[in-house]
Amino acid sequence: MEWKTINELCDAVRKTSLDIHQYHRSGHLEKIYENALAHRLRKLGLDVKQQYQLTVYDEDGTELGEYFADLLIEGQLIIELKACKSVSDEHVAQILGYLRSSGIEHGLLINFGAPKLFIKKYILNNNPRLGSSSLKSLLLSLCAAAFFSAAPCASLWLIIHQQ
């Protein structure tokens, strides 16, 4: 299936995650939700890589190590899954680290562990032309778009601007 925009891709992941959460509810280990999401997204015809290896380099190019993102969708969207009571600052730092290390701009942090599905989109933007005022207006419009659905999930998009 062809995806015209990253937002369409994110919407497919959001809808699929909601379906999984409605069927399986909370209470499973993270790996169950990872396998379920990968399976259902592949059924939609998406390219899904599980436990995608990311290498971290120092500023001089020295390899420091690697870590693994839960899912990479269509080579352009990193998914970090959780199965916990609530999302913490460490979880946010983790998805932002994955985005920085990979050079991929878009990521979703999804928590299946709470009674209410939690999805937050992060956009790591390195565009210096995107000033703080336009960043705020873009963030507000994205937040408004994220809440258009009456589906029982918490969803928010955050844009992180790096200088």
Q: What confidence tens digit (pLDDT) does each residue in 17-26 have?
A: 999 999 999 9
Domains and CATH numbers, the chain: 6-161 (3.40.1350)
52: left (phi over 0), alpha (psi -120 to 50) or beta: beta
| CA gap 36, 17 in Å, rounded | 9
Q: Pick the residue with more confidence: 2 or 44?
A: 44
pTM: 0.79
Q: Which residues contact 36 (CB under 8 A, 6 or more apart)?
A: 20, 24
Query: Which residue bears the tokens 């937002």?
Result: 7
42-98: pLDDT as tens digits? 999 999 999 999 988 888 989 999 999 999 999 999 999 999 999 999 999 999 999
Q: Where are the beta strands (DSSP E) in the chain?
A: 48-57, 63-73, 77-82, 106-111, 117-125, 153-161
